Amino acid sequence: MDEEPDARITRFMHWSVELSAQAIQKAMAKAGTNVSDVTGLVVNTCTGYICPGISTYLIEKLGLSRTIRTYDLVGSGCGGTIPNLQVAESLLGKNGDGVVVSASVEICSATLQVDNDISLIVSNALFGDGAAAAVLSNRPKGLELVASAGRYVPEQRDAIRCVI
């Protein structure tokens, strides 16, 4: 696929914001919260990089407070939701009655590479564009996050890495 890098990042920027905003709005509606409740936002991705991060675009698009705490996590790969939830959980501990939104978004079409390499063929078949979001709060409603953990195996990095 012969595409200019600027076209890829433009697609990443548009769709990462659009899909994560939709996921956040759906999650907030299910949780019965609104933008004025949100005290923190954590966003993770590994398929693109913009600076300032996706969170700044979401603050504007969703009308979130400009004083909320935000974290953009980049480069965590497929398992990026685990560190995302860990950061969101720690933010929540500091905010008493606040609400922290956790969003994961991947725009794999912005990293698409075409070749006869089997790992690329499998990767292109498995991964697509999408986003998911969760609303965390200390309110006794919904599911309870009991614990989270991660395990890193650096020796296996080459088996799952993505190089753009």
By the 8 A CB rule, do 48 and 110 touch?
A: yes
pLDDT of residue 155: 80
| Model confidence band, residue 92 (pLDDT cutoffs 50, 70, 90) | confident
Report the pLDDT averaged over residues 95-100. Answer: 80
- Nearest CA to 54 out of 12, 85, 91 is that of 12
Instruction: Report the C-alpha gap between 97 and 11 in whole angstroms.
Output: 36
pLDDT of residue 156: 74
Locus of tokens 């990293």: 111
Report the pLDDT averaged over residues 119-147. Answer: 79
pLDDT of residue 8: 86
Question: Which H helix or E strand runs over 72?
Answer: strand 69-74
Instruction: Report the C-alpha gap between 21 and 19 in whole angstroms.
Output: 5
| Fold of domain 5-160 | Peroxisomal Thiolase; Chain A, domain 1 (3.40.47)
Per-residue pLDDT at 25 exceeds 80: yes
- Tell me the torsion sign for CA atoms 131, 60, 77, 34: negative
Q: Which residues contact 101 (CB under 8 A, 6 or more apart)?
A: 24, 27, 28, 38, 40, 41, 42, 88, 133, 134, 135, 136
Report the pLDDT averaged over residues 115-144. Answer: 80
118 token code pair? 């089997």
Per-residue pLDDT at 100 exceeds 90: yes
pTM: 0.85
Report the pLDDT averaged over residues 28-56. Answer: 93
Report the pLDDT averaged over residues 140-158. Answer: 72
Query: Maximum CA pair distance of the chain?
Result: 52
